[in-house]
Amino acid sequence: MLLRAALCENRRPVPLITLPDGSQRSYERPVSVADIAASIGSGLARAALAGRVDGKLVDTSFLVDHDAAVAIVTDRDPAGLTVLRHSTAHLLAQAVKQLFPQAQVTIGPVIEDGFYYDFAFERPFTPEDLAAIEARMRELAKSDLTVKRRVLPRDEAVKFFDNLGEHYKAQIIAAIPANEPISLYGQGDWVDLCRGPHVPSTGKLRAFRLMKVAGAYWRGDSRNEMLQRIYGTAWPDQKQLDEYLHRLEEAERRDHRRIGRELDLFHMQEEAPGAVFWHPKGWQVFQTLIGYMRGKQQAAGFQEVNGPELMDRSLWEASGHWQQFGENMFTTRTPDERVYAIKPMNCPGHVQIFKQGIRSYHQMPVRLAEFGKVHRYEPSGALHGLMRVRAFTQDDAHIFCTPEQITAESVAVTQLILDVYRDFGFDEVAIKFSDRPPKRVGADEVWDQAEAALRQAAGAAGIEYTFNPGEGAFYGPKLEFVLRDAIGRDWQCGTLQVDLNMPERLGAHYIDEHSAKRTPVMLHRAIFGSLERFFGILLEHHAGRLPAWLSPTHAVVMSITDRQHSYVLRTVELLRNQGVLAQSDLRNEKVGFKIREHTLQRVPYLLVVGDKEVAANQISVRSRSGKDLGAMTPQTFVERLRIELESRGRRTMED
């Protein structure tokens, strides 16, 4: 009736709210996001954590006084989960201040799967402190305190926090641009500086857990004072929290560093931080990875090259790496005062190889690949086993092509990347499109061309992707290939980048059909990315049970008594002569002990030999899963294993 009356008066009520499904609702006066949710339904009103007004994330108390597109944000929305976690960080800070009034609060952002808050306090927090803090958080959540936002003038906000003794907050305000509002959020007797938005009340925070305490420098600068960082996680409900904690337990069980020790694959030590000491079995797997990729690249038309690891600073300045990446490069100065850098990337070296001799358009594309060892300085606190190192090997490749060849080459590379991941058991692959970063080289019009070319190539490849704004390489946009492992974690590995900048900066050219010099397009391509990191991902994905074709040992032949020793040795020799990675176990131990030990070592096949097997010229075959595959001749085992190896494990003896 109100709407009809308004139309009769040749006006309509304000505001007019457009919902995500396209429907519209009219209100006579300014209305809050919470009221809009309530007008849609009581269930939605209870579930509302925040809102989007014309695309901007806001509190449910936000007043809409104009025509707007409005969406109600619940915990089913990724943004809702972010709001929930940010609000739980505030709950943590409130609990700490109530229990430890002398502690000063600093910052508490959302991170992947959770949040943290940094505190300045006179002594380290203990596990008992964490338990008490979490208990107080639960009390505060149960109290269902209303969360209120207010805005203060800058000087008043600084004075407010100085009076509270929160000097870190006053410093933060001083760093906020002058034209930005200073917003505060309060719940109960506690107030924090924050941009927001936050949940409407603490009662929305139902499933959280404090995880650990670590050290952190104020503003991330080692020259500043050390703070204490409390990490936590928060989820919409207890079931999702329990599932997450189970994933953490499973991740701990699958930790590649633990598996590396148990299987004697590699180790790392303080004398070479961020570098790997490969043991024989680990190096065998590493070389299998290289051999596999070498075969795939050769079949795809890539030529393998190798560039110097140490090159003059002038080359890195010309490429742009020195300006963009110099603080992460290892350098040395010679007696004649020349400065050299250990390569952090292979790209400039490949350009130098391309530049040797005159290149014709008839020769394009030129595909160069290298298993290049690179070095990058990573802060010691960021190093993490094989996943974050300072010295690593890339399966790096660069395609020099004409503009007309970008699409076809990109489609071929995309298909190659996805084929490789399937061979390693990764069927879930997400793709992200990363465009120009704030810190980059090249003119905007060049970036426009590169981004358009990559979008066209992605469309031609028929792939779906999400946008990852501002995360491109400093020289060009890229597609990022993200793998999902067996326990649901995502790993960014492969990349495809379109580069119209570096070839020009380094003077690369080819002769086109009109006998004119043209600058080639350079496609950067990596599939494993870092072989070390990919190795670690594989160990965790397979929980150390690598498929037979990747395993450092395919089979162990073990005797039951001394009488079978010579037969075991002959069998091992036969297997090795046919390419099987076989070992013998002639120890004077019970066969059950041997089987258990090699099962723990994740050996794919356990071959047992007793008097009966010797007499029949057979071996008794068991898999590491415990399945008895029966007796067969050594040659039959080789033939069956060969089928499994050639199929990359898609067909096993157990099938």
Active site residues: 347, 376, 394, 396, 398, 478, 524
Residues 6+ apart with CB under 8 A from 510: 359, 360, 361, 363, 364, 400, 402, 517, 518, 520
CA 90 → CA 79, 187, 239, distances in Å? Answer: 17, 9, 23
In angstroms, the CA 508 to CA 359 distance is 10
CA 423 → CA 289, 538, 624, 650, distances in Å? Answer: 11, 12, 21, 8
Torsion sign, CA atoms 16, 20, 21, 22: positive
In angstroms, the CA 504 to CA 319 distance is 9
Of the candidates 139, 130, 140, 119, which has an alpha carbon nearest to the alpha carbon of residue 190? 140
Exposure string (b/e) for 625-634, b if CB count within 10 Å is 16 or more?
eeeebeebeb
In angstroms, the CA 530 to CA 492 distance is 11
- Give the other-Cβ count within 10 Å of 46's Cβ: 11
- Give the other-Cβ count within 10 Å of 344's Cβ: 18
In angstroms, the CA 354 to CA 457 distance is 24
User: What is the 8-class DSSP label of residue 101?
Assistant: T
Q: Which amino acid is present at 84?
A: L
Distance of CA 214 to the CA centre of its chain: 21
Q: H or E stretch including 448?
A: helix 444-461
Q: Which two tokens stand for residue 540?
A: 């965790």
Residues 6+ apart with CB under 8 A from 561: 610, 611
Q: How are beta strands 466-467 and 429-434 bridged, if at all?
A: parallel
In angstroms, the CA 57 to CA 196 distance is 9
Question: Looking at the DSSP assignment, which residues form a beta bridge with residue 492?
Answer: 482
Distance of CA 64 to the CA centre of its chain: 38
- Give the other-Cβ count within 10 Å of 379's Cβ: 12
Rounded to 5 degrees, what are φ and ψ at 433?
-100, 115
CB contact at 8 A, 564 and 614: yes
